[in-house]
Structure 1
Amino acid sequence: MTESLASHPDRLFPADPGTRQIARELYADVEHFPILSPHGHVPAEWIADDVPFTDPTALLVTPDHYVTRLIHTAGVPLGELGVGAGETLGEDLSRTGWRRFAESWPLFDGTASGYWLRSEFEQVFGLPAEMVETFCPGNADAVYDAIAAKLAEPDFRPRRLFEDFNIEVLATTDDPLDSLEAHERLAKDESFRGRVVPTFRPDAYINIAHPEWAERIERLTAEASGGVAGFAGYLRALENRRRYFVDHGAVSADHGVRTPLTLRLEPSEAEALFEKARRGEADAADRDAFEAHMMWEMARMSVEDGIVMTIHPGSFRNHHGPTFAEFGGDTGHDIPFAVNYTQGVHALLQDFGTAKDFHLVLFTLDETVFSRELAPLAGFYPSVYIGSPWWFLDAPDAMLRFRSAVTETAGFSRSSGFIDDTRAYCSIPARHDTSRRIEASFLARLVAEHRITEARAHELIVDIVDRAPRRVFKL
């Protein structure tokens, strides 16, 4: 019988038997806690419409740039994986993409994606361990057919999975002008017992380098400014749309900025930059200054309306021009770069760092700032929380490095709780389970080293997994 890696009870726990036993007991405290997902990218329409998933490739391969980017390194064209083909691939392309995936399966050994996928195959789709551990071109079609049969079952739809996954709160990511109609339907549907909340994501309305910036702000001010013109109308429209989101259950605003730079401009300076951008005359320095000032404005608005502010900087978007030209964004070639948080958020924190009930969650792709900058910032400012390891860092060893880097300075209370940040719906349980196992492992080591008591570790893991996200995201 093939040993199941995905179902081994001690997966991700310490190798030392004594420490492992402590980790087992800590994990048992939180293993069955409901999933809180206050930042992610699953569309609300999936849940509201409860439409069946189309095929294995369109669900598990094509939309997941964690998966497609690694297959691409082996020379497989993204088009053969269904990238750029839309949500309905068709039988031939779907089969072709799946076979390329099977050929590339060995590439996922040791990766977080490989760990999640194994868990999905066994625990979500019910595939036998032997089929999973021997996944290759020889059984690619058999695995495809087994998953396709599961997708065709009436109970294997988004709503039923929401319940089966034990999700309590799921946040989506939404354009400021989204009608939030799907959220409205879910809120009114008495048969749906979960909570799906929108997240205000204004990047395309703040980054003047965005190719649709001018068009979007014209629509924004026309629809939401209440007749106020110019830069003042632009700010009024953003404020009004934020209130609309709050009225529809939003708890946070997310900002995928290039850098964490913040800047407070005089109103006349900001308006001049705004008008310059509308005329198409802004350069790169203007772009950075305007975005930095708007981060200050977003913080001001969060202090006023209570929305949690999250910042996700440090990604060189669309690094490979030809791939972007052919397939568009979010296709696997966004590459991290170093950031400077201490100086970057200085202007914002001067005015709002101690503001009552303001919550600012700082994420990073540059793990060198965990101990050097984020932990010290969160260790002083009441408003600042450290975002969990995100994108490229949401992997077992990186999670352990994160805990080691931030805890000695900021303790456990200043972190956000786990964030899955995913559109890969079926991976959500595996991602959260990974985090819980890693937290148990880290705490077990502290207990074994006589740095905290075992009783205190049992209290801490409950706080980390459940109370922290409720507290930080005001759930």
Structure 2
Amino acid sequence: MPTVAAPPALQLHPDRALPLDERQRAVAREVYAATKDLPIVAMHGHVEAEVLADDAPFADPAHLLVVPDHYVTRMLVSQGVAPEALGVPRVDGGPAEADPRAIFRRFCAGWRLYRGTPSRYWLEHELVEVFGVDLVPSAETADAIYDRVAARIAEPGFRPRALLDRFGIELLATTDPAGSPLEHHARLAADGLGDRVVPTFRPDAVVHLGRPGWRADVAELGRVAGVDTGDYAGYLAALRERRQAFVAAGALASDHGHLAASTQPLEPRVAAELYAAALHGGPGAVTAAQAEAFAGHMLFESARMACDDGLVMQLHPGVLRDHHTPVLAAHGPDRGFDIPVATEFTRALRPLLEAFGTHPGFRAILFTVDETTYSRELAPLAGAYPSLRLGAPWWFLDSPDGMRRFREAATETAGFYNTSGFVDDTRAFCSIPARHDLARRVDAGYLSRLVLEHRLTLDEAVETARDLAYELPRQSYARTATARDAR
């Protein structure tokens, strides 16, 4: 009787993502060894504060690894799998796959689709390092892997707060709307985690006049702030009050996702008129161009507020969100249909930088998914203005090759110390250590080449690697001296 071949084993190579050249790889191993166990500072992410406040067991493997991760679902959707088949809920409450095991089977059956993608790297790291899985995902192994992961997440050591320690996360920032009452962060603070899990102020919902639900979001902002937002002055006052509430809750940054990078301020009278028209007028009272102008104006105003309260301003324009309107209507935003567009920064940021670029109380971190701007615009800007830092490769670019291209394009102009160090951008909690591990490996590879080219000593490379992994994120997101002195 023929023997049945054992399924292939899932293993992580110790030199994964390190350089191919043996001499360079040997140096990279030394550099990486100095950073691999450093604490994680995760300052740009989307893990929900409620997950950590509740500290409940994760529901099941599918809703941990597949359903909430648009990196994972978008690949399967691109191959013809319906979002509903992956458990992505419908806005109208219509039918969607409710069996987590069926969802996980579809994911495992499509494993080959992730070859060459950063998702493959992160998922392999999670399965092996976090959950102890040694089977390659496939249709045949799906149930066995599901059972292994389900058993692990049922253990007390795999509750969300326990994973903070297991992952070595020293500081985790969530992303929270301006109108959030921050009740989950209050619970975390009461439990002694207020300095470890901090909010980030995200005002996007209330600065884009043409956004569906804008009026309701502005009303909620006013309600939570205790300020009448019936006019523009009240609106600004409510934003200032909520920023102060976020600072009191430990926030270190604000986060701004705009289509364009324009920061041209409007005359106060014009801004007030546009606000009133959007709030009280009918359909079409504000044109798309006027809404975009108001959003750019509010970036300028946000920078002004940052000079007073010390929140670091994260700006990431250049993404056309929810590209497929039917998916947006059926499933809501953030379902994998956000697509990069070309972005201009040099002229767009000039009004903001001329006003605040050398202000001692202001710091901004610039992210992009348009990597053509790294060497042409962003690195030169960060290499000139003391208030600017260049953010890490992010979103579509937080991949091995994307990170390498970033170092090649940006370092000669901006150096290492005008960058933020690595910060992840994920909703997938268990992928955080995988993402930071990848960044540390890629940086080790880049630095090892500089050593072999006799442009850095090994000691300098090790020190730089440690700074990129840990010190620079801490420094980049520290509140300014001006803000601290004013408290």
Which amino acid counterpart does residue 423 of structure 2 have in structure 1? I
Query: What does residue range 332-343 of structure 1 map to in structure 2 within 5 Å?
Result: 332-343=336-347
Question: How far is the alpha carbon of 1:220 from its aligned partner?
Answer: 2.2
Residue 230 of structure 1 pairs with residue 236 of structure 2: no
User: In 2, are the aligned partners of 1:252 and 1:310 still within 8 Å (CA)?
Assistant: yes
User: In 2, are the aligned partners of 1:379 and 1:410 still within 8 Å (CA)?
Assistant: yes
Return closer, same or farther for 1:92/1:214 CA change in 2, 3 Å cut-off. Answer: closer
User: In 1, are the aligned partners of 2:181 and 2:224 still within 8 Å (CA)?
Assistant: no
Query: What does residue range 247-266 of structure 1 map to in structure 2 within 5 Å?
Result: 247-266=248-267
User: In 2, are the aligned partners of 1:13 and 1:23 still within 8 Å (CA)?
Assistant: yes
Which residue is equivalent to 1:186?
A: 188
User: In 2, are the aligned partners of 1:175 and 1:200 still within 8 Å (CA)?
Assistant: yes
Residue 354 of structure 1 pairs with residue 355 of structure 2: no
Which residue is equivalent to 1:398?
A: 402
Name the SS for the 2:140 alignment partner: helix
Which residue is equivalent to 1:10?
A: 15
Question: How far is the alpha carbon of 1:45 from its aligned partner?
Answer: 1.4
Task: Report the identity percentage.
Answer: 50
CA distance in structure 1 between the aligned counterparts of 2:385 and 2:132, rounded to whole angstroms: 47
Which amino acid counterpart does residue 50 of structure 1 have in structure 2? D
Name the SS for the 2:450 alignment partner: helix
Question: How far is the alpha carbon of 1:467 from its aligned partner?
Answer: 1.0
User: In 2, are the aligned partners of 1:41 and 1:422 still within 8 Å (CA)?
Assistant: yes
> Residue 45 of structure 2: which of 40, 50, 69 is its match?
40
Return closer, same or farther for 1:179/1:222 CA change in 2, 3 Å cut-off. Answer: closer
Which amino acid counterpart does residue 47 of structure 1 have in structure 2? L
Which amino acid counterpart does residue 61 of structure 2 have in structure 1? P
Which amino acid counterpart does residue 108 of structure 2 have in structure 1? A
Return closer, same or farther for 1:413/1:220 CA change in 2, 3 Å cut-off. Answer: same
CA distance in structure 1 between the aligned counterparts of 2:459 and 2:141, rounded to whole angstroms: 48
Question: How far is the alpha carbon of 1:92 from its aligned partner?
Answer: 5.5
Query: What does residue range 175-324 of structure 1 map to in structure 2 within 5 Å?
Result: 175-190=177-192, 192=193, 195-224=196-225, 226-227=227-228, 230-278=231-279, 279-280=281-282, 281-324=285-328
Which amino acid counterpart does residue 348 of structure 1 have in structure 2? L
Question: How far is the alpha carbon of 1:449 from its aligned partner?
Answer: 1.2
User: In 2, are the aligned partners of 1:175 and 1:202 still within 8 Å (CA)?
Assistant: yes
Q: Which piece of structure 1 moves more, 323-332 or 111-120?
A: 323-332
Query: What does residue range 95-244 of structure 1 map to in structure 2 within 5 Å?
Result: 95-128=101-134, 131-132=135-136, 135-190=137-192, 192=193, 195-224=196-225, 226-227=227-228, 230-244=231-245
Name the SS for the 1:385 alignment partner: strand
Name the SS for the 1:215 alignment partner: helix
Return closer, same or farther for 1:35/1:223 CA change in 2, 3 Å cut-off. Answer: closer
CA distance in structure 2 between the aligned counterparts of 1:237 and 1:296, rounded to whole angstroms: 17
Return closer, same or farther for 1:349/1:148 CA change in 2, 3 Å cut-off. Answer: same
User: In 1, are the aligned partners of 2:392 and 2:422 still within 8 Å (CA)?
Assistant: yes
Name the SS for the 1:275 alignment partner: helix
Return closer, same or farther for 1:315/1:6 CA change in 2, 3 Å cut-off. Answer: farther
Return closer, same or farther for 1:48/1:228 CA change in 2, 3 Å cut-off. Answer: closer
Which amino acid counterpart does residue 106 of structure 1 have in structure 2? R
Cα-to-partner distance string for 1:345-401 (whole Å, 9 max, x where unaligned): 111111001100311101001000000000000011111110111111000100000
Name the SS for the 1:24 alignment partner: helix
Moved over 6 A (4+): 1-5
Name the SS for the 1:392 alignment partner: helix
Which residue is equivalent to 2:3?
A: none
With the length of structure 2 as denominator, give the TM-score of the two structures. Answer: 0.93
User: In 2, are the aligned partners of 1:308 and 1:360 still within 8 Å (CA)?
Assistant: yes
Name the SS for the 2:314 alignment partner: strand
Return closer, same or farther for 1:45/1:419 CA change in 2, 3 Å cut-off. Answer: same
Structure 2 residue ranges without an equivalent (≥5): 1-5, 480-487
User: In 1, are the aligned partners of 2:75 and 2:113 still within 8 Å (CA)?
Assistant: yes
Question: How far is the alpha carbon of 1:188 from its aligned partner?
Answer: 2.3
User: In 2, are the aligned partners of 1:84 and 1:327 still within 8 Å (CA)?
Assistant: yes
Structure 1 residue ranges without an equivalent (≥5): none
User: In 2, are the aligned partners of 1:39 and 1:420 still within 8 Å (CA)?
Assistant: yes
User: In 1, are the aligned partners of 2:57 and 2:160 still within 8 Å (CA)?
Assistant: yes
Q: Which piece of structure 1 moves more, 149-158 or 254-263?
A: 149-158
Cα-to-partner distance string for 1:216-252 (whole Å, 9 max, x where unaligned): 2133234426457511111011001000000000000
Name the SS for the 1:270 alignment partner: helix
Q: Which piece of structure 1 moves more, 458-467 or 367-376?
A: 458-467
User: In 1, are the aligned partners of 2:261 and 2:345 still within 8 Å (CA)?
Assistant: yes
CA distance in structure 1 between the aligned counterparts of 2:215 and 2:229, rounded to whole angstroms: 17
Cα-to-partner distance string for 1:233-284 (whole Å, 9 max, x where unaligned): 1101100100000000000000011111111111111111111211140001
Name the SS for the 2:157 alignment partner: coil
Q: Which piece of structure 1 moves more, 389-398 or 136-145?
A: 136-145
User: In 2, are the aligned partners of 1:447 and 1:454 still within 8 Å (CA)?
Assistant: yes
User: In 1, are the aligned partners of 2:51 and 2:160 still within 8 Å (CA)?
Assistant: yes
Name the SS for the 1:121 alignment partner: helix
Aligned length: 469
Question: How far is the alpha carbon of 1:194 from its aligned partner?
Answer: 6.6
Cα-to-partner distance string for 1:36-61 (whole Å, 9 max, x where unaligned): 00111111111121111011111100
